Amino acid sequence: MVSSRDHGVGEPPRAVSKLQALVRIPTVSHREHGRVDAAAFDEFVAELARQFPLLHERLALTRVHTHGLLFHWPGASAERPVVLMAHLDVVPVEGDWQHDPFGGSVVDGSIWGRGTLDDKGCLAAICEAVETLLERDVTPAQDVWLSFGCDEEVYGTAASRAVEVLRERRVRPWFVLDEGGAIAHEAVPGVRRPVAVVGVTEKGVMSLHLRAEGRGGHASTPARNGPTVRLARAVARLDRSPMSSSVPTPTIELFRRLAPHAPLPLRPLLANAGRFGPALARAMTALGPESAAMVRTTFAITTLRGSPALNVIAATATAGVNVRIMLGDTAESVLSHVRRVVGDRVEIDVLEAHEPSPLSPYSTGETRDDAFGLVEETIGEVFPDAVTAPYVMMAATDSRHFTEISDRVYRFAPFRMTKAQREAIHSYDEHLGVDDFLDGVRWYRRLIERLG
């Protein structure tokens, strides 16, 4: 159903056709460089210029990395610059889609296709907000930068280059806004109101190899406690030895804000989550993998390698461990935990390690942060039914690079998303409601207009 709230039935509004055009260009990221279709990215950059002519005429563009774009829109003041982020690459298509993933068709009131939610929707909404303000000759009160990465889904190199450019130009953003949170419908059991979650930190990521070595040889004369067995024991020990859990401060604030909207028996517990901290953390680890991931560092055993042949004993056995580091833990504390758990007959190789990102300030019952407050009030204006709250992001975004030059990095996409829509990200049937997209355009426009 195409709504007729602001536009006629049949003819999609201008902003929608722009997003459709962008979705139709398959800017798919791959880890292997050779598989990236550079022509598609060239076409995307050209299409963006066609769709947003004023933006390209009035804003200064710096190209970063291969197809990253950094636009500068000078405001009345450069004192408190703001960065709005998005990315133009998408993950490969998988699964069985109801509609062509690169068709960008409007069906049942939604725009369908890879990238509508992650993250061309944000990119098109930001550009359309800027374009319409330029049409009205608006000058923002503060400098506005638009940073659009081209490899967010793989390396995030464009975002780190954009940070270098800003650092060279001595730009210290007042705040940075990237994808991440959303106006999540059906997010919390028992809470009927949608929750507008604004990410204020990201868990860290670490990849490890556990490695056991010993004598290989013929499978007819096995020795006890060979590499494979020692590795298996280490893996099993790690699985039953989690790190300690605790409810992080943004989650306590999230609970406090949800309390008035939760079922009556839960209200006192949520409102006083800080006081019940340790008991609540324990309860959450027991509730299931999602809530457990909210309160502690997690270890996922992913790859396993032993002998390539059925009749040969492995001289080396390895297990890949993907670690998501909780706020409060560090790569070092995780490593010493793993070392203690697996014992000294198993080696640990660190393949990569990124600490949890620093915590950006947010408003609480007692204190108000101006930047978070601006984001929160703009949400309240455009999505009056939503409860806004800070939260800890489980996934990593391009914006982590910006924590090097800004104290306030917020992760929020101003789109309503159902549970099914959130699950469609990186999966199949990704789609964004037409009205929800237009509300997102309005949200970015109001955010820029509200800069003081």
Q: Where on the chain is the footprint of Zn ion (CB under 5 A)?
A: 118-119, 179
- Nearest residue (CB) to Zn ion, 118 versus 439: 118
- Of residues 19 and 313, the one with the C-beta less far from Zn ion: 19
Long-range contacts of 129-133 (CB under 8 A, 24+ apart): 129/441, 129/442, 129/443, 129/444, 129/445, 129/447, 129/448, 130/52, 130/55, 130/59, 130/73, 130/444, 130/448, 131/52, 131/53, 131/54, 131/55, 132/441, 132/445, 133/445, 133/448, 133/449
Query: CB of residue 126 vs Zn ion: minimum separation in angstroms?
Result: 14
Q: Whole-angstrom Cα distance, residue 273 to residue 254?
A: 9
Q: How far is the CB of 262 from Zn ion (least distance, A)?
A: 30
Whether omega for the bond prior to residue 108 falls within 30 degrees of 0, making it cis, is no
118 or 329: CB nearest Zn ion: 118
The nearest distance, CB 446 to Zn ion, in angstroms, is 23
Minimum CB distance to Zn ion, residue 200 (Å): 18
CB of 179 or CB of 430, closer to Zn ion: 179
Nearest to Zn ion of 179, 329 (CB atom): 179
Q: Is 152 a catalytic residue?
A: yes
Q: Which is nearer to Zn ion, 229 or 395 (CB)?
A: 395
- Given the residues 143, 152, 153, 355, the one annotated as active site: 152
Asked if 89 is an active-site residue, the reply is yes
Helices 434-450 + 370-382 axis angle, to 10: 140
Select 29 or 318, whichever has its Cβ closest to Zn ion: 29
Structure tokens at 160: 């780190």
Catalytic site positions:
89, 152
